[in-house]
Amino acid sequence: MSESTASSRSLTGLANPTRFVVLADRLVPWFGTAAMVIIAIGLVMGFAAPEDYQQGTTVRIMYIHVPFAWIAMLCYTMMAASAVGSLVWRHPLADVSIKAAAPIGAVFTLLALFTGSIWGKPMWGTWWVWDARLTSVFVLFLMYLGIIALTRALDEPGLSARAAAIVTLVGFINIPIIKFSVDWWNTLHQPASVFRLDGPTIAPVMLWPLLISAAGFTLGFLTLHLMAMRTEILRRRVIAMRRMAAQAAEGDAR
Amino acid sequence: MSHAFFVAAAYIVSALVLGVLVAWIVGDQAARRRELAALEARGIRRRSAGNGNAGQ
């Protein structure tokens, strides 16, 4: 068996929902535990790091606000990749991935908006401004709500999946807008300070806790996504089995 | 309000919201597993059950 055939087989194997559920059962406890430990390490390091010379203790909101905002965009990017998988390759788990990820992405986006707002009040003197960064993230939140509604609009999950995949893919245009909004427009929100061509502008003593916290929350997000995908597969099994039971009952009645 | 209040509020509300998200995902999963167990107890089997090619 050639290497490419073996690799193709392992990919096909992952596309099998039963094998996916078995894999998720194995990974979720490890991922979940590791996520909690890494988040705890990141936040303890964050609180042990010195306060910012201008922002004081409010800089500690950064250790959750920034990971939430990154995950809000990461989740949507994963959903867009799943939408390609759904529309191009009809991958059986791609629709499941979009439907399972949308509520999680909405929660992380809401938390990014909330923690940003509560950070903005003492630092900017306002809870909210309609600048390009805040507005584009708010649009992302609305898009998540729309996709949640679309994926749950019909009883038959397959029917709404195609529409949800198209909307998700079209909405991906918002992700680079969010990322570059602080460069393209004059915003109250600060420009990028970690992922920059000339390197991070944050002191290492604050950068490391931020990166560790972000890694922990990302692992936590992946754990929740795996769990939600597994639940969605189980939900579709329940629907299929209820239909079979109803058809069997109808056959008996004739 | 002190700066510490804003930091505490951000962390407490985030922890509560994430707690609700985790509880919802775990609860949804437990409910679906109960439904599957009840269907299997009634003798209903998926067509693909047993051959390792589960349908959705």
Give per-residue pLDDT as tens, B9-44. Answer: 999 999 999 999 999 999 999 999 999 999 988 888
B16 touching A (Cβ < 8 Å): no
Backbone dihedral region for residue A129 (phi beyond 0: left; psi -120 to 50: alpha; all else: beta): beta
Would the CB atoms of B22 and A224 count as touching at under 8 Å? yes
Whole-number mean pLDDT of chain B? 85
Task: Choose among A22, A18, A148: nearest CA to A76.
Answer: A148
- Burial (Cβ within 10 Å: 0-12, 13-18, ≥19) of residue A208: middle
pLDDT band with cut points at 50, 70 and 90 for residue B54: very low
- Residue B52: C-alpha distances to residues A13, A17, A93, B5 (Å): 11, 10, 16, 55
A116 versus A7: the higher-pLDDT residue is A116
Mean pLDDT for the stretch of residues A164-188: 92
Instruction: Locate A131 and state its tokens.
Output: 């600048």
Residue A145 has pLDDT above 70, yes or no: yes
Assess whether pLDDT exceeds 90 at residue A120. Answer: yes
CA distance A146 to A158: 17
- pTM of the shown model: 0.90
* Chain A residues touching B26 at Cβ < 8 A: 227
From A7-21, A50-64, A191-205, the region with the lowest mean pLDDT: A7-21
CA–CA distance, A52 with B3 (Å, rounded to integer): 12
Q: Which residue of A has its CA nearest to B28?
A: A231
CA torsion angle A26 A31 A32 A35 (round to 10): 170
In A, minimum Cα distance to B18 occurs at A107
More confident residue, A253 or A127: A127
> Helices A204-253 and B3-41 sit at what angle, rounded to 10 degrees?
30
Pick A138 or A153 by higher pLDDT.
A138
Given an 8 Å threshold on Cβ–Cβ distance, is B52 in contact with A58? no
The answer to whether the CB atoms of A241 and B47 lie below 8 A apart is no
Average pLDDT over residues A36-43: 98
Q: Parse chain A into domains and list their residue ranges.
A: 26-50+63-189+205-247
Average pLDDT score over chain A: 90
CA distance A225 to A101: 6
pLDDT score of A11: 58
Q: Does the pLDDT value for residue A9 go beyond 70?
A: no
Above 70 in pLDDT, residue A239?
yes
The predicted-structure confidence for A65-107, as pLDDT tens digits, reads as follows 999 999 999 999 999 999 999 999 888 899 999 999 999 999 9
The answer to whether A13 faces chain B, any CB pair under 8 Å, is no
Are residues B56 and A236, on separate chains, in Cβ contact within 8 Å?
Answer: yes
Chain B nearest CA to A53, separation (Å): 14
